[in-house]
Amino acid sequence: MKNKRGAIGIIIFFTVIMMVLVLGFMGTMIWSVLDIASDEITPIMEEIGMVDNTNVSEASEITFGVVNGFVQSIPWLLALTYVMALVFCLVFVFLAGYNPHPAFSAFFLGLMVLLIFLCVIMSNMYQDIYTGDDEIATRLQEQTIMSYMILHSPFIMAIIAIIGGILMFGMQSVNKEGGGGGI
């Protein structure tokens, strides 16, 4: 029985990295919209006052105040999740011990170039929105970590892909000697 090592691990690796990039971009945009809405709705709801026998302002301080506090902490949670997802990509490659045939190195490089093109496109789109003078641009400028990660994503993702390639293709000698992680 031959040991057939295909390219599915390489495809999964790049798919996950691309999904992390797109979800990070979408997350920052969604947070910006939520932050704008939260900043507009919360003061209005807290100033309503009494409606019949109910103090709506007090109830809205409890509900909208908590939601507004959570919305204000989302940038740090989003940045932490983004970094952890990128680290997980590398840890997964190491733990799975996936070691493709060396003939797939050209396929790996092709997907790496595709990843860098996607990063450049996402980075340029983000920069166009980030450098604007509207309300969303100010919200994006408040997100220093995610803005840095997305604006510099071509370099960051290239480094992660290179490290992933070293782990994938360089682990063949380690796995043959009996060390390393994975299967």
Q: For 9-13, 82-86, 117-121, which range has the lowest pLDDT when averaged over its residues?
A: 9-13
The residue that leads in pLDDT, 119 or 69, is: 119
* Nearest-angstrom CA–CA distance, 8 and 45: 52
Residue 62 pLDDT greater than 80, yes or no: no
Domain that holds residue 60: 9-171
Examine residue 181 and state whether it is found in any structural domain, yes or no.
no
**Buried b vs exposed e over 57-96: b needs ≥16 C-beta within 10 Å?**
eeebeeebeeebeebeebbeebbebbbebbeebbebbbeb
Examine residue 177 and state whether it is found in any structural domain, yes or no.
no
Examine residue 2 and state whether it is found in any structural domain, yes or no.
no
pLDDT tens digits, one per residue of 29-48: 999 998 888 888 877 777 77
Examine residue 183 and state whether it is found in any structural domain, yes or no.
no
Examine residue 4 and state whether it is found in any structural domain, yes or no.
no
pLDDT tens digits, one per residue of 128-153: 999 989 999 999 998 899 999 999 99
What integer best gives the mean pLDDT of the chain?
84
The tally of domains found in the chain comes to: 1
Per-residue confidence at 7, pLDDT binned at 50, 70, 90? Answer: confident
Tokens of 141: 């400028």
Examine residue 153 and state whether it is found in any structural domain, yes or no.
yes
Q: Structure pTM? A: 0.81
* Nearest-angstrom CA–CA distance, 89 and 19: 11
Examine residue 75 and state whether it is found in any structural domain, yes or no.
yes
Examine residue 3 and state whether it is found in any structural domain, yes or no.
no
Average pLDDT over residues 79-105: 86
Q: What is the pLDDT of residue 183?
A: 45
